[in-house]
Structure 1
């Protein structure tokens, strides 16, 4: 079977996508599949590399496969990729693996394109991808589902420009400092600021609006950061929990370490799984996700966000959670491909009904 591996993309998480794609190529079972890498440049070109029949040994080879060298290290080289149109992905006995993060990638745009082309693809569908990427929409949906979250205030750029004082009063009237200001639909902590007073709040909101037209102001929470891996659709499986532990390196910078498994009371873990399942169902999730929680010292569980295409590189939380449960990265990728094929067959059956 042919796997079309999409990577790159028109966003700030371009390099992260390449690292994830390389991890997939290193782990996928080539005895069952050949892999056609398709690199999407930062300017939107689609470049198809030569079909792979064995793993690559270095991420630099993946960059060369589709002529991505020009995007890295200041070295400009001739592209080795062939310029294609997305419609060329419509082939028999193939699955598309969109290993892409951020805007114009995991936010429903690529998923909508693949859905329109009528090809099976790995990961969540259009609705779940769009909801998972948008912090305001997801929080409103989860609030309707009765899932506890940190208090928040959504902001629109047009309102901020005309009702600044009113919005500041609303933030300070319903939230306590410190607060976190975030663009509504970006990942990897881009444009995120921690603020402790009004002056910093104003500056952070202005900065966040440079990244997006919708911004979220959220209550700062003193809590542990716990993450769960989700896998499946009708039958949803959960990984063991992992914890993101932050510590100072002595130079006023924070370093993150992963503790797997995280030490959590079984009743609290059961509550996390219940919330994760309810949230994933309401957003019509199918395939995979990483569900992030805050766990306070009082034992309160708050849903932070759901990431529908988590990182796959060797340092990422999602694959490590499954590895600790005995599911290798190769087996994990195999399950994702099979889930994509089964969902596609169900969708075809529904269309022909």
Structure 2
């Protein structure tokens, strides 16, 4: 759906907290508290927004440090975003978010929101709002420019003058302003002085994980959803001690994501322990590579589920897949 002809389009801004809404701590050198300023204050810091060809509607949806996000927060963001996108006058949605787990929220939205032609833009900041060199105002302005550009659709992230697709974006630096990367694929485009330069789009991500692949979560939001499964994340490394896996086995996990070394390799202690755990408990196990870029060879690991994603997104994707299995089992039980 698009805005009615002649009507001023609406740009819906959903605020969730993060460093972009943070304030410095006067008692700690270099420290700050995330999620302190509300969306009205964020907009007041960017007067250039008044010059955009859209009417801005803002909502304070959450007020959290993104490191503390959980499945219920993701659902709240996805639901509010989808409701906004269904408004014919809303041309795009911009979400302010913390940097720490932005890539996970981006992946959740990419997989849960039904495929559509309107953009959903996540913006963030590496410095708090009251820092003298705060990057949040520029990122928010650039995000709104990208949202109104007309050449992006689906979920993207805008930071440090770059536009990244949800499928590829990763936080790769703990404090630099240019903290996000899309690896060998590269950003979708750049923004400078309010102008967007579009790059040649990279190859499509794994066709098995398209946009909207888990839209069932929104479609049954009015029903009673099963609790989200608890999925652990373990990394193979030199000197691996099988006691780590034994401890996790007794923790009541529903699933486990294992980040392997290289092209799907596992420390021999870990591989033996995983095989025993799978036989004894039936724990749902999936593998990805701990390498930042590139998928592992699924054929080499045919006995395991493999996910062509970096570990943070792979853990979330495995959680979504197991959640869907649980929901399907619940629906089958109701039908009997």
What TM-score does the superposition give when structure 1 sets the normalisation length? 0.26
Structure (1 or 2) with the greater helix fraction = 1
